[in-house]
Amino acid sequence: MAIHIEYETELSLGFDVEPVITKVIDKALEIHQCPYAAEVNVILTDNASIAVINEEYRNLARPTDVLSFPMISYETPGDFSVVETMSAEDCFDPDSGELILGDIIISVEKVIEQAETYGHSKERELGFLTAHSMLHLFGYDHMEEKERIDMEEKQETILASLGLYR
């Protein structure tokens, strides 16, 4: 398992982000029974930088809390059997042999703001955004009510199993 974390802002969350991000990613993979060693890239940035990316990829010229860039198109969310139909060079790192799930970009400013707004720790907010994004990397979405409810339940399962409560 490879988790690459880049901290690209001067803002500090006041704690080591790596253990939080790692345990959430590990738990999401475990709960979804991913049969492969996986690779995930995580970038922690500021509102200005994430706003540029959000505008470039979603045509929304404003900061957001998290962006997800999945590398796999799932027929059914969380069903890794789709990987068997893909060519290895399309989804596996040629050097490590790990399944490339995709990229997660998180605004540190939003972690701080939202933790305060929702009255929970910054660790919990970082964990929530990581879990939310991992589900997107597994093909989940929240555009329709049923999808939103399913995704929220899965997020809470991941977070509760790690003791990251509101």
User: What is the C-alpha to C-alpha distance for residues 22 and 28, in angstroms, rounded to an integer?
Assistant: 10
Residue positions in the annotated binding site for Zn(2+)?
132, 136, 142
- Sign of the CA dihedral 7, 140, 100, 3? positive
Backbone phi, psi, residue 106, to 5°: -120, 135
Q: What is the CATH number of the domain that holds 96?
A: 3.40.390.30
3-state secondary structure of 35: coil
In this structure, is residue 73 part of a structural domain?
A: yes
The residues near 80 (Cβ < 8 Å, ≥ 6 apart) are: 32, 33, 34, 35, 36, 99
Write down the pLDDT at residue 156: 95
The structural domain count of the chain equals 1
Mean pLDDT by 10 residues, the chain (166 residues): 96 97 98 96 98 96 97 94 88 94 98 96 97 97 92 95 90
Q: Residue 153 in contact with residue 93, Cβ under 8 Å?
A: no
Write down the pLDDT at residue 5: 98
* Domain enclosing residue 46, as ranges: 2-161
Write down the pLDDT at residue 102: 97
Predicted TM-score (pTM) of the model is 0.96
Q: Residue 109 in contact with residue 63, Cβ under 8 Å?
A: yes
Residue positions in the annotated binding site?
132, 136, 142
In this structure, is residue 79 part of a structural domain?
A: yes
In this structure, is residue 166 part of a structural domain?
A: no
In this structure, is residue 52 part of a structural domain?
A: yes
DSSP notation for 104-163:
EEEEHHHHHHHHHHHTS-HHHHHHHHHHHHHHHHTT---SSHHHHHHHHHHHHHHHHHTT
In this structure, is residue 118 part of a structural domain?
A: yes
User: What is the C-alpha to C-alpha distance for residues 51 and 107, in angstroms, rounded to an integer?
Assistant: 9
